[in-house]
Amino acid sequence: MARKDLRSLSKDELIEWALSVGEKKFRAQQVYDWLWKKGVKEVDQMTNVSANLKSLLSQHFDFPSAHRSVEQISNDGTVKCVFCVDQDKVVEGVLIPTPKRMTACISSQVGCSLACKFCATGRLKMMRNLTAGEIFDQVFDLKTEAEHRYQIPLSNIVYMGMGEPLLNYKNVLQSIHHITSQEGLGMSAQRITVSTAGIAKMIAKLGDDAVKFHLAVSLHAATDEKRNHIMEINETNNLEVLGQSLRYFYEKTGSRVTFEYIIFKDFNDSIADAQALAAYCKALPVKINVIEYNPIAGGEYQQTTEERLKAFTQYLLQRNMVVNLRRSRGKDIDAACGQLANKNQSPLKPAAEAIFK
């Protein structure tokens, strides 16, 4: 029989197991604190836990973790970290310092199945979902990095790294529970944003589950013709269906959605495109992040001109829409939006093997 992931147990389940093997309830609480407050990745790191209990934990449970192996520092201070999972797989997380916030951008899957044409991650084979613990590990390590490198606490978390978070729904929500719980990292859910390519059914489920975090949708085009061309997901979750799910989400949560709109040269950067976007947003309480594109090797899209970017955003602002222009960070280390692609995966394989020996 496959052994359970230790971090998949709730606190009550951990207590029940501890009692069943002759340990006291407070010992389970100690273990739980090590897992979610102190962020250990090995049973042996639990220094106030008895050798007998450590042995029992190792005998009964697996402890899959994401181990940071390599980091790169951008000229703008952005830090890209490579996390090894299993013995031959890696994901990437990014720490983004700005004057107003310190943001961790984290991954939810190894690879991605959605194959969006503008995204380097979409070219990777989808290998597996990350566990809640492996997602949590990225946050804990990037939080530690922020505190040690910049002496600034982590202020925000965005699930905008590798993978589609809503296709790993259970583990993503479980990781957020531990990040926000007072028995975990104690961060506010209002500091967390989950980004989706637009899985309408799961967006509605977020509404039913009354989530407290923010939702962002990778829109990038406001007509089905154009969105179908760059995002295969639109063929089964078209703009009308997506809009219905977003209205339902808003009715259930009262939380305004953010549209992410990467702007591509001569594709979605015209005034006609801005008009289509404004029209689509009329029936939705949204904010819009217009995002500078980061070209990828062999890609068919390019960065638009400053003139067209300004005209596009001005059109929306003149119609009293809430618009933010997002400039790229970490481009020189392939850490910017859409650039996470495990370029170093092959050279890192020996590092992963060393960690998991």
pLDDT digits (tens, 9 = 90+) for 126-150: 899 999 999 999 999 999 999 999 9
The residue from 92, 145, 164, 260 that is catalytic is: 92
Please tell me the class of the 67-355 domain. alpha beta
Cβ neighbourhood burial of 324 (10 Å; 0-12, 13-18, 19+) = exposed
Structure tokens given for 8: 């998949």
The token pair that represents 186 in the structure block: 């104690």
Let me know if 92 is a catalytic residue: yes
Helix (H, G, I), strand (E, B) or coil at 263: strand
- Residue 218 near residue 260, CB atoms below 8 Å: yes
Concerning whether 337 is annotated as a catalytic residue, the answer is yes
Handedness of CA 240, 242, 243, 244 (dihedral sign): positive
Spell out the alpha helix ranges (H) of 71-164: 132-145
What is the distance between the alpha carbons of residues 36 and 319, in angstroms, rounded to a whole number? 46
| The CATH classification of domain 4-62, taken from the options 1.25.40.340, 1.10.150.530, 3.40.640.10, 3.40.1390.20 | 1.10.150.530
What is the C-alpha to C-alpha distance for residues 207 and 202, in angstroms, rounded to an integer? 9
From 81, 84, 281, 337, active-site residue: 337
The answer, as to whether pTM is greater than 0.85, is yes
Identify the pLDDT of residue 334: 55
Q: How many helices (H) and strands (E) does the chain have?
A: 11, 14
CATH 3.20.20.70 residue ranges of the chain are 67-355
Measured CA to CA, the distance from residue 319 to residue 317 in angstroms comes to 5
Please list the residues that pair with 110 across neighbouring strands: 128
Place of tokens 């830090």: 79
- CA 270 from centroid of its chain's CA atoms: 30
User: For the chain (length 357 residues), average pLDDT per consecutive 10?
Assistant: 89 97 96 98 96 96 94 91 92 94 96 86 86 98 96 97 96 98 98 97 98 98 97 96 98 97 96 98 94 80 94 96 82 51 42 31
Q: Give the phi and the psi of residue 240 in degrees, each rounded to 5.
A: -65, -45
Q: CATH 1.10.150.530 spans which residues of the chain? A: 4-62
Look at the block and give the residue holding tokens 């009293």.
320
Q: How far is 132 from 135, CA to CA, in rounded Å?
A: 5
CA distances from 351 to 95, 148, 344 (A): 21, 23, 11
pLDDT (0 to 100) of residue 336: 47
User: pLDDT tens digits for 248-281?
Assistant: 999 999 999 999 999 999 999 999 999 999 999 9
Q: Alpha carbon 136 to chain centroid distance?
A: 11
